[in-house]
Each structure stands twice: as C-alpha cells, then as structure tokens.
Amino acid sequence: MNKVTVVGSGFVGATVAQYVADKELADVVVVDILEGIPQGKSLDMMQAAPINGHDCNLIGTNDYAETKNSDIVVITAGIARKPGMTRDDLLKINANIVKEVAEKTVKLSPDAIYIVVTNPLDVMTYLTWKTTKLPTSRVIGMAGVLDSARFQAFIGMELGFSVEDTKAMVLGGHGDLMVPIPRFSTVNGIPITELMPADRIEALAERTRNGGAEIVGLLKAGSAYYAPGASVAHMVEAILRDKNRLLPCAVYADGEYGLKDVYIGLPAVLGREGMKKIVELKLTAEESAALKKSADSIKENIDQMNKLLVAV
C-alpha cells in the first residue's frame, strides 16, 4: 500500500486524509504538534471506513518517525491570517513552520513527492523546494487545481449545465492576481466564449479570484476545506496511479512562459515521478502580461520571506 503523510490536522489536512483514504489511494499518517487532535480525527475516520468501504489505515500522531518512507508528503500546517496580523507576520510565521516541516520530513522520506497547501502557497512551495533540496519535479503546489475547480463550478452554475462537463484553466499565483483563461475553459469541448457574453465571463473570473475570500466571509471564522482537500486528493491520485493528468499546479518555471526561478501556476503533467513536464500554451499578449504580473508579485514575496527568515 502506498503511504501518504499529511502534516497538519486542521480542517484541510483532515479532509485530505479522508478523501485519500476514501479513494483507496494510500494508508495515511496525519501528524501535528497538537496532542490528541490528529489521533482523534484519524480514529474517527477509521470508524467511518466500514461504511465508506475501504481498508486504508489512518494513523494520527505527534511523532514524525511515523511518517518514514512516505510516497507523498502533503504540507497543510500553518496558520490563517488573524485580525491585526500583517501579511509579513503571516509570511514569517508560516515560513518558519513550513521550513521546519520540510526539514523533518525529508530526512525520513527522501524519495517522497511534496504537495504544498500552506499559504501564501506559491512562496511556501518555493521554500519547501529550497529546504528539501529535492528536484523541482518532486515539489508541487496545489492551488491551480482548486482555482480551476472553482471556475468550473461557477461556469456550471451560471449556465445551468452539469459541472461534470465543465473544464477550466486558471494559471498564475494563488491570490488576487491569478489568471483565469476563458479561451481554454469549456463545456464538453465548447469554449465558454461561445456560450456566454464577455461581461458574465469576467464576473465569473473575478468571483474565482475571490473564491477563498467569499467563503471566509460567509463562514465568519475559518476558511474553505472541502474543495482544497478534494484538490489535493485529485493530485495524489494522479501521482500514485501514474495517470499523466494535465492539471494547473504551482510548479517551478525555468524559462517556460518567459518566467525564471519562481513557483507559479502553470499547466503540468502529473504522474508517478511527480511533475513530468510543463505544457506551454500560446498565450495572448494580455494573458502573458497578467501571468508576468502574477509572477513578479510572487518573487517580491519570496524576497520578503528571505529577509524575514534571515531576521529570525
């Protein structure tokens, strides 16, 4: 049986564990510094296994030794931004958490593939790569799958069509500067540009950019976890079952799309080796400019993170 470690037993981490087990993809280890939380949630999920019909084993622990020889390590650990907290505060706290997690897990699972979920996601993926010193093909960020799923859901809801028939492509960083691409977003092969006016498409694209914030506003406390958890499980399945799925993910650009030394959402093929290749699409001048703007913002955050880590 494959082995997946999920670091962080909050709502996202626990949802990842449940989806991975329910799909019978792997045994799952949920690790957290909080005592009792990963143990309790894992035990609860084990008790659901007879109903959901899988034989995957779920273990909750505070001991990283349990994660040894994992095939995939998913990093969800970190905190959400709280009232009165600056972006620098969030960046510094989560960077230190992710750096420690990466250092501890890579020693025990040097052959693992990493999927990073902690925000700011593109920056934390870059940090995980730098910390683990793994090939870029084995360190991937989740967000493109999530952002594209949100766009797909909004398209289906707008048109009244099955979301199973919608496909969408959202590139760029996971944030306000993400780049939905309507030309490459379809309903059963038909571009959405043929199915709705430009103003409605832009409204859906804007709702996608603010997809996480909309949920935070509705929940009042906490943030999304069902769709993020499902997005990670989707990537885990593509990797462990060597499906060669073409998915938008935060991957390392080394000249692709004119971008260099940055993790950013691009179309990538996922399989057993991790990220097998980046697919380069012919973007319009406007799309390319938006993607570069997104990349520049991520680079600024990486530079800021490096300064904050040095200052620790």
Known catalytic residues are: 174
Q: Are 253 and 137 in contact (CB under 8 A)?
A: no
219: CB partners within 8 A, 6+ apart: none
Contact 29, 5 (CB under 8 A): yes
Give whole-number Cα distances, 78 to 9, 91, 151, 153, in Å. 10, 10, 26, 27
Cis omega (within 30 of 0) for bond into 38: no
Closest of 262, 170, 242, 257 to residue 212, by C-alpha = 170
233 exposure class (CB count in 10 Å sphere: 0-12, 13-18, 19+) = buried
- Contact criterion met (CB below 8 Å) for 249 and 145: yes
Q: What 3-state DSSP class applies to 103?
A: helix
Strand partners of residue 14: none
**From CA 97, how far away is CA 7, in angstroms rounded?**
11
Contact 181, 170 (CB under 8 A): yes
